[in-house]
Structure 1
Amino acid sequence: MGRELADAFAEARHVFEEVDDALGQKLSVLMFDGPEDELTLTENAQPALMAVSLAVVRVLEKQGGLDLATQAAFVAGHSLGEYSALAAAGTFSLADAARLLKLRGRSMQKAVPVGLGAMAALLGAEYEQAKDIAAAAAEGEVCEAANDNAPGQVVVSGHRTAVERAIKIAAEKGIKRAVMLPVSAPFHCALMQPAADAMAEALAGTAMAAPKAPLVANVIASRVTDPAEIRDLLVRQVTGTVRWREGVLYMKEQGVTGLVELGAGKVLSGLAKRIDKELTGSSVGTPADIEAFLKG
């Protein structure tokens, strides 16, 4: 992850070096050479994904004159990507974003003993339907809608036994498919409260500036620019639903016609078209992508 960018661009190398220094860890070595099972630990994966996104941003800023303040109507990110978006928009320094995500990943992993929690994708379920299924499955345990990603793609999270009940209830209700996800913890549900508490403390001691472009926040699916409000929303996001579908529709209602995904993967740009066929979604994550974007 990120090696091609580091080989091609000095700006990317500088980002990876700064993240390594901030963490006191050679995260870049893990990113470039593995081992994969160590990189995928959430305390490593979260800052690593942010580093790749910011590497792309820095290259576009230096070589393409990218200026989010004048060229972006909004910034947004899915879950940990919200920190990437805020670092790109100048709310957090790169070093602070890396440290916060390292803590976020570690705290999320520690919040629930391994095996106690789970997440499942309800494919074919709409958000309100998924919330009803989760509520019926809870039976005194935690089971909540964690991610509203796109029409027909909602994720539930909570105690493993409750999530297993949700899968059975979904089948009974004719939901097309419900599958357990290979995750290390039940993210974005009430079981993550210890992690939310840790992030509240860390964010309280972190300098934050107003973003260069308004953030469309996960938990309210609307715009925000006030650093104090952003801080509160980031804490709420740890246990709250990622309302991605609604956030994308909000941006469209505000006149946005295209979304550009900066960093590893193409999931969000693909979701944009599923959420609204009138939207365009593109991804910029490799040297070839950057070259094409700059030419366009």
Structure 2
Amino acid sequence: MSARKSALVIAPGRGTYGKAELGSIARLHGDRFAELIADFDAQRAARGEPTVSELDGAERFSVSTHMRGDVAAPLIYSASILDFLSIDREAYDVVAVAGNSMGWYSALAMGGAVSVADGFRIANAMGTNSQAHGPGGQILFQVVDEDWRAVPGLRDAMFARVADIAARPGHALALSIDLGGMLLFAGNEAGLAALLAEAPPTPGRDPLRLAGHGPFHTPLMQGSADKAQTQLPPSLFAKPMISLVDGRGHIWRRHSSDPAAMWDYSFGHQILAPYDFALSVQVAVKEYAPDVIILLGPGDTLGGAIAQSLIAIEWQGLTNKMDFSDRQRSAPFLFSMSRTDQRKKVIY
């Protein structure tokens, strides 16, 4: 048998369980992980909430139901952690894990900083807590061209405009998530309206207001952080068994990281400050030089952000979208578990 390949595993965040994913938890995991799914269902039922099985097994996808934080979070966590547990560990040595935004809570369980059951408890609570915030939301802007190369000066211009708007009375606005080729800004309604009106022209897609999303990763989420720190005690955390890279690009190293500090970050900075997903990917590939990157389900919309983050640092010679596509055809390194052909290459 050939030697195991080293792997960086990445968990997605909000907005990834959509119409196409309805029923996927039961279809992909119902036989293998029935007991674990039953535990997740029991946790929800004990709180008087619709179970994961009921939500995943709904007759049709409902935006008003399935996209709510208190529903989306447990569905996404369940899909991600069960995908993670499906990885063939005889073929892949998971050397580090990371996640995007809410995916950080999945990463905590993947890395062993919390148990799988407690990871669900955290994700489920945070899905509800994420709705405790001031008025506002998020807007997505593209800052790379059609070849996934940075548009000269555009990022700086965006940040300058955001800083100018945020300095105005009654306007709250800040970076929420850096996705490499795309930037998510969050704020109150006054700040968001000003940004839409005054942002410099951007390539590709038009700016997109994300439906059902609050002003995540800004101080407007203080209510969510307060609830998390009250409901989710530090005793849930332990030293991780796999290194984690967080939304600052900080590495929580296996066997040596302080559980109390991880708790403080997870329910403080992670909620209230920008999440630099691009930096987390860049730090992880530089530090651990993985042979492959495995993107967990649900969905595969994060694949472009991962590629764009790597192009930004010219990882292994990648400089544009064509380089990435050519590499994926000749010697693929990014496997999305939501794509059937790629999934087959990583599961046991």
String of CA shifts for 1:96-129, please: whole Å, max 9, x gaps.
Answer: 22222222122221323xxx31211122276554
Q: What's the counterpart of residue 76 of structure 2? A: 49
Output the CA distance in 1 between the equivalents of 2:179 and 2:195. 18
The TM-score, its normalising length taken from structure 2, stands at 0.74
Output the CA distance in 1 between the equivalents of 2:94 and 2:214. 34
Output the CA distance in 1 between the equivalents of 2:74 and 2:90. 23
For the 8 Å contact 2:336–2:343, the answer to whether it is kept is no
One-letter amino acid of the counterpart of residue 284, structure 1? M
For the 8 Å contact 1:43–1:102, the answer to whether it is kept is yes
Does 1:245 find its partner at 2:282? no
Q: What's the counterpart of residue 292 of structure 2? A: 258
One-letter amino acid of the counterpart of residue 117, structure 2? A
Aligned-pair distance for 1:66?
5.6
Aligned-pair distance for 1:67?
9.1
One-letter amino acid of the counterpart of residue 227, structure 2? A
Does 1:283 find its partner at 2:283? no
The alignment covers a number of residue pairs equal to 283
Does 1:133 find its partner at 2:155? no
One-letter amino acid of the counterpart of residue 204, structure 1? P
Does 1:274 find its partner at 2:308? yes
Aligned-pair distance for 1:184?
3.4
One-letter amino acid of the counterpart of residue 130, structure 1? M
One-letter amino acid of the counterpart of residue 208, structure 2? V
Q: What's the counterpart of residue 26 of structure 2? A: 6
Aligned-pair distance for 1:5?
4.6
String of CA shifts for 1:222-270, please: whole Å, max 9, x gaps.
Answer: 2014222211221211111110111111112212353211121112232
1:130-209 map, 5 Å = 130-138=158-166, 139-140=168-169, 141-151=171-181, 153-171=182-200, 174-176=201-203, 177-209=206-238
Output the CA distance in 1 between the equivalents of 2:130 and 2:26. 29
One-letter amino acid of the counterpart of residue 59, structure 1? S
Output the CA distance in 1 between the equivalents of 2:213 and 2:302. 21
For the 8 Å contact 1:22–1:99, the answer to whether it is kept is yes
User: Structure 1 pair 3/175, CA: closer, same or farther in 2 (3 Å)?
Assistant: closer
Aligned-pair distance for 1:76?
0.3
Does 1:23 find its partner at 2:56? no
Aligned-pair distance for 1:146?
0.2
Q: What's the counterpart of residue 265 of structure 2? A: 233
Q: Secondary structure at the match of 1:276?
A: helix
Does 1:123 find its partner at 2:155? no
RMSD over aligned Cα atoms: 2.4
Q: Secondary structure at the match of 1:72?
A: strand
- Identity percentage over the alignment? 19
Choose 283-292 or 190-199, whichever is displaced more. 283-292
Aligned-pair distance for 1:175?
3.4
Q: Secondary structure at the match of 2:137?
A: strand
One-letter amino acid of the counterpart of residue 261, structure 2? E
One-letter amino acid of the counterpart of residue 193, structure 1? Q
Aligned-pair distance for 1:155?
0.8
Aligned-pair distance for 1:85?
1.3
Q: With a CA cutoff of 8 Å and minimum separation of 6, indicate the structure with the bigger relative contact order.
A: 2
